[in-house]
Amino acid sequence: MSRYRLCPTVEQKKVLLEHCAHARFVFNLGNEQRRMYRPGRRRAPIWSEQSRQLTEAREAEPWLAAGSAVVQQQALRDLDEAWCHFFAGRCRRPGFRKQGKHEGFRIVGKRGSVWDTRRLSRHVGEVRIPKIGWVRFRWSRAVPPEVKSFRVTLDRSGRWHVAFAAIPKPVAGPGTGEVVGIDRGVTVTLALSSGELFKAPAPSARTKRLARELSRAKRGSNRRQCAKVRLARTTARDRDRRKDWYEKASTDIARRFDVIRIEDLDVRNMTRSARGTIEAPGRNVRQKAGLNRSILTQCWGQFAKRLEDKAPGRVEKVKPHFTSQRCSCCGHVDAKSRKSQARFVCTSCGHSENADLNAAINIAAGHAVTARGGSQVGPLNREPQIAA
């Protein structure tokens, strides 16, 4: 997806919000029809049947007829795709869209007839949206010519974006056959077997302060609404910094190495709540919640996903068992060798190294470590370098 910052006028924002309201209403109404389905009692309406019902609703309701038919039809198409993914076991059952949280719509059609783009200057472009006209956006890069659809979204901080659907080309490797192992952690986000350490941007102190102000504000008050908007803007900036970091880090690694081996971590299970139930309450719930926030801040899942997208067929997932306790020099496994978070001293051969780099070397070897032969990748003889 090629994403750009949209810059609509005040009048254009009103029409965009109406498009979002139409898409949200049609999506929720169609979702309610599908949720009423019970096996053996009645048949759930499919997309074609709901499209015919939409035509009848537009004739009966002037509010819907004033909107774009493309926006409303694509909302039903999004609903149909969500239910298909649910029945295939790829996601949960589709929920309902909420105002202020799920604001957006999609436009699909032939470029030049339903919609179009043009460039005005070096950093300014325009996209033509049905029922609105030409809306300006920041031209940060060229719009792919093969685009057939785009999506307009509004985040919680009040920023409008337009994303053109296009699959980017994979990043080509250097062709040298070089292998790298990547160890993921909380203190050091990424540790490469080549000796590099990457650290994800931490949330700003302003975010924590605004979160405290929001928790102290009275529900339903204007003060709480203003605090919510300020927190959303700060959180959006933190999220943009993290996204910029893992996009650049994944591109850099995909360009410099042919084979990339990474830990096969189930981040969703690792960040589950420890609250438990009333019958069996959990222990150390606050500590586990803090660990979950730290893990999610490191963007482990997003980094791995983008790395697989940019280097398809070159990313190998390695089981993480005992990679932090195994010596990369002699292959001896002992939990006592991990002296601290950053120090590893083998209890068998006395080999000393940074703990994260030692684990990254084991991952690069693909667990090909034996007590006699050692690993395929030798120990590092240089100090680790911190990469922003």
* 41 — pLDDT class (breaks 50, 70, 90): low
Residue pair 35/95 in contact by the 8 Å Cβ criterion: no
Residue 379: CB atoms within 10 A of its CB come to 15
Give the DSSP H or E segment for 378. none
pLDDT at 164: 93
Distance CA 139, CA 248 (A): 20
Q: Give the pLDDT score at 331.
A: 85
- Count CA atoms closer than 13 A to 2's CA, side-chain side: 20
Which range (8-12, 165-169, 368-372) has the least confidence? 368-372
How distant is the alpha carbon of residue 358 from its chain centre? 29
Distance separating alpha carbons of residues 46 and 11, to the nearest angstrom: 36
Whole-number Å distance between alpha carbons of 165 and 141: 14
Pick the closest to residue 123 from 138, 134, 136 (CA basis). Answer: 138
Compute the C-alpha angle 272/275/279, nearest 5°. 130
What is the sign of the dihedral through the CA atoms of 332, 336, 341 and 342? negative
What's the pLDDT score for residue 372? Answer: 36
Extract the tokens encoding 208: 């924590």
Q: Which run of H or of E encompasses 20?
A: helix 10-35
Contact 100, 156 (CB under 8 A): yes
Q: How far is CA 376 from CA 168, 181, 328, 339, 373, in A?
A: 34, 12, 9, 24, 9
Among residues 18, 183, 196, 353, which one is catalytic?
A: 183
Rounded mean pLDDT of 175-184? 91
Q: Output phi, psi for 321, to 5 deg.
A: -65, 125
Q: Is 183 among the residues known to form the active site?
A: yes
Contacts of 324 (CB under 8 A, 6+ apart): 183, 338, 344, 355, 358, 359
> For 89-146, how does the pLDDT look when each residue is reduced to its tens digit (9 = 90+)?
988 899 999 998 889 999 998 888 889 999 999 999 999 999 999 999 999 989 988 8
* Cβ-based neighbours of 82, under 8 Å, separated by 6 or more: 91, 94
Q: Confirm if 201 and 387 have CB atoms less than 8 A apart.
A: no
Per-residue model confidence (pLDDT) at position 44: 75
For residue 299, the surrounding DSSP H or E stretch is none
Cα 172 from Cα 165, distance rounded (Å): 22
Question: Residues 296-323: pLDDT tens digits?
Answer: 999 999 999 999 999 999 999 998 888 8
Which residue among 263, 266, 334, 383 is the active-site one?
A: 263
State both tokens at 197.
């350490």
Share of the chain above pLDDT 70, in %: 93
Which tokens hold the place of 38?
Answer: 């019970």
Query: What's the CA gap between 128 and 387, in Å, rounded?
Result: 41
| DSSP secondary structure, 229-251, as one string | HHHHHHHHHHHHHHHHHHHHHHH
Higher pLDDT, 348 or 276: 348
Q: How far is CA 168 from the centre of its chain?
A: 16
Lowest mean pLDDT among 182-196, 203-217, 317-331, 374-388: 374-388
Verify whether residue 356 is a known catalytic residue. Answer: yes
The amino acid that residue 300 corresponds to is: W
Distances (CA, A) of 46 to 24, 37, 57, 81: 18, 11, 16, 11
Q: Which one is catalytic: 18, 103, 353, 356?
A: 356
Query: What gap in Å lies between CA 382 and CA 377, rounded to an integer?
Result: 14
Q: How would residue 384 be classed by pLDDT, with cut points 50, 70 and 90?
A: very low
At 377 the pLDDT is 41
386 pLDDT band, cuts 50/70/90, is low
Query: Which pLDDT belongs to residue 285?
Result: 86
| Other CB atoms within 10 A of residue 205 CB | 9
258 is annotated as an active-site residue: no
